[in-house]
């Protein structure tokens, strides 16, 4: 009995010693406390959402969404009175971005994610930073002009996106007989069209425009057909964290009201961008102007 008591005391003392030596861990749902405890933040990024969130030709993530997130990091430093915050980057895909935000791996996703009401059950969103239409990319000589022309064709969508569902819900898409392919990311989906394995790629038109602009032969492609839906793009972070959402909303809304968001838009979508100095040339549409004039994160 004495030996057992001594052993228990030793185990308890060891546990207390380890607990006191271990760094404080904040609840992943309390993002500001987590950042303060670790003095670091992890930004999720895409590798091929050109203009928004992509690699600069090497390993550095750049883009419109990341520039906005950098402003948010600066605001966090001020809020927490930290002289510096280490920024870590985590590549995400359409398929894993929500789980990586939910489990605390990523603090805020600076990518190209649509704010859907159904996703709000799992994550939270900033006010819309962009609005666009879902359309179809084809080769210019394919003869495809709209949804009806996809009959009997092979259509690719990126895994984890809503594109195929939108196509199927369209009046002219309900009875289509198509072969479906799934790309692991947008670059992979584009490659399937480029190589001829697919005849069409359904996605947000601004992302399609970026893929075309950075391709080897932009004149070989066309974005065609009716819009399947106008969608809204937002930054994504953990839900049930009102303090963090309030900070994000304050920064994003402030950028819209000051005109800074317009300047970033022109920088990434109307000017030459790395690594090839191409211009996506996507003038701001009426839907995005409305998003800037009346910030909202209500979702669709």
Residue-range domain boundaries for the chain: 31-131+232-293, 133-230
Which among 153, 209, 200, 201 has a CA at the least distance from the CA of 177?
153
Q: Global pTM?
A: 0.82
**Domain 31-131+232-293 shares a fold with domain 133-230:** yes
CA–CA separation, 124 and 249 (whole Å): 11
CA–CA separation, 131 and 50 (whole Å): 15
pLDDT at residue number 73 = 98
pLDDT at residue number 22 = 34
Give every CB contact of residue 245 below 8 A, 6+ residues apart in sequence. 124, 126, 237
pLDDT at residue number 190 = 98
Show contacts of 26-29: CB within 8 Å, 24+ apart. 28/103, 28/104, 28/238, 29/238, 29/240, 29/241
Q: Whole-angstrom distance between the N-terminal and C-terminal Cα of the chain?
A: 65
| Upstream peptide bond of 153 is cis (omega within 30 degrees of 0) | no
pLDDT at residue number 7 = 40
Per-residue pLDDT of the chain (300 residues; tens, 9 = 90+): 434 443 434 433 443 333 333 333 345 569 999 999 999 999 999 999 999 999 999 999 999 999 999 999 999 999 999 999 999 999 999 999 999 999 999 999 999 999 999 999 999 999 999 999 999 999 999 999 999 999 999 999 999 898 999 999 997 788 899 999 999 999 999 999 999 999 999 999 999 999 999 999 999 999 999 999 999 999 999 999 999 999 999 999 999 999 999 999 999 999 999 999 999 999 999 999 999 999 999 999
Helix (H) or strand (E) holding 19: helix 2-21
pLDDT at residue number 27 = 53
What is the DSSP code (8-state) at residue 120?
G
E-strand stretches of the chain: 40-45, 48-49, 53-55, 61-62, 86-91, 108-114, 123-125, 130-139, 154-158, 179-183, 200-204, 221-224, 230-238
CATH code for residues 31-131+232-293: 3.40.190.10
Angle, helices 286-293 vs 242-258, to 10°: value is 120
CA–CA separation, 206 and 53 (whole Å): 12
CA–CA separation, 206 and 208 (whole Å): 5
pLDDT at residue number 162 = 86
pLDDT at residue number 281 = 94
Helix (H) or strand (E) holding 151: none
pLDDT at residue number 39 = 98
Give every CB contact of residue 252 below 8 A, 6+ residues apart in sequence. 68, 72, 126, 127, 129, 235, 261, 295
Is 64 in a helix, a strand, or coil?
helix
pLDDT at residue number 81 = 98
pLDDT at residue number 175 = 87
- At the second CATH level, the architecture of 133-230 is 3-Layer(aba) Sandwich (3.40)
């Amino acid at each position: 009995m004495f030996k057992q008591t001594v052993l228990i005391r030793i185990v308890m003392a060891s546990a207390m010693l380890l607990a006191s030596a271990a760094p404080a861990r904040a609840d992943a749902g309390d993002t500001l406390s987590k950042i303060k405890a670790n003095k670091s933040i992890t930004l999720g990024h895409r590798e091929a959402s050109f203009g928004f969130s992509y690699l600069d030709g090497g390993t550095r993530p750049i883009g419109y969404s990341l520039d906005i997130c950098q402003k948010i990091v600066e605001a966090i430093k001020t809020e927490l009175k930290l002289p510096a915050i280490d920024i870590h980057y985590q590549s995400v895909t359409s398929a894993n971005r929500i789980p990586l935000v939910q489990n605390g791996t990523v603090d805020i996703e600076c990518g190209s994610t649509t704010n859907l009401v159904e996703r709000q059950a799992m994550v939270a969103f900033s006010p819309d930073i962009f609005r666009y239409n879902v359309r179809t990319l084809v080769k210019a000589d394919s003869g495809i002009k709209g949804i009806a022309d996809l009959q009997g064709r092979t259509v690719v969508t990126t895994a984890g996106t809503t594109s195929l569902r939108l196509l199927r819900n369209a009046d002219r898409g309900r009875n289509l007989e198509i072969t479906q392919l799934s790309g692991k990311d947008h670059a992979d989906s584009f490659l399937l069209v480029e190589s001829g394995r697919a005849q069409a790629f359904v996605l947000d038109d601004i992302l399609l425009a970026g893929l075309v602009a950075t391709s080897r032969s932009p004149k070989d492609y066309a974005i065609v057909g009716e819009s399947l839906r106008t969608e809204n793009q937002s930054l994504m972070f953990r839900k049930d964290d009102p303090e963090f959402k309030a900070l994000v909303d304050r920064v994003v809304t402030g950028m819209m009201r000051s005109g800074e968001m317009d300047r970033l838009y022109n920088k990434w979508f109307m000017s030459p961008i790395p690594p090839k100095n191409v211009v996506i040339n996507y003038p701001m549409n009426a839907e995005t102007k409305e998003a800037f004039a009346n910030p909202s994160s209500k979702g669709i």
